[in-house]
Amino acid sequence: MADCVPRSGDGLVIELGAGTGCVTKALLEGGIRADRLVVVERSSQFVRHLRRRFPALNVLHGDALRLAHLLPAAAKVDAIVSSLPLRSLPQADARQIVSQWQKVLRRGGHAVQFSYDLRDRLRHECSGLEQRASHVVWANVPPARVFVLEACP
């Protein structure tokens, strides 16, 4: 997932559902500067863990359903990396989360989403977001599909 995030840019990289921070660590090791990375996590237990593990990061305790309200109004977002289980959430929630991506991503920005469902299609509608890539990571246990979407005009 981290390899799919463009390193260039001066906008934010938002990580949704960081959990214990495996993808967070990969993003940082892959060249995303700590001052660009904002982590959004709903679980207060994971928020405490992430703040201890990555003290230089901005870790927000909040829900991806309200992403646009968690960020400053003028925030420029280059990428969103989502580890949220969109396929297992109620469809209305998944749609609301994706609509938040559409609100905050700059034109040309990327959303990276993974799924354990290996089919090469997303379950939710993504108007305003076009699928640019999709691949299976067979080394993941269990294997997972990574989707890369681009925010279009």
Kind plus residue range of the DSSP H or E element containing 37 = strand 37-41
Give the bridge partners for 13, in sequence order: 37, 79
pLDDT in tens, 61-101: 999 999 999 999 889 999 999 999 988 899 899 999 999 99
Q: What is the CATH number of the domain that holds 114?
A: 3.40.50.150
pTM of the model: 0.92
Amino acid letter, 84: L
Our count of domains for the chain comes to 1
Residues in the chain: 153
Digit-coded pLDDT (tens) for 98-151: 999 999 999 999 999 988 888 766 656 567 888 888 889 998 889 998 999 999
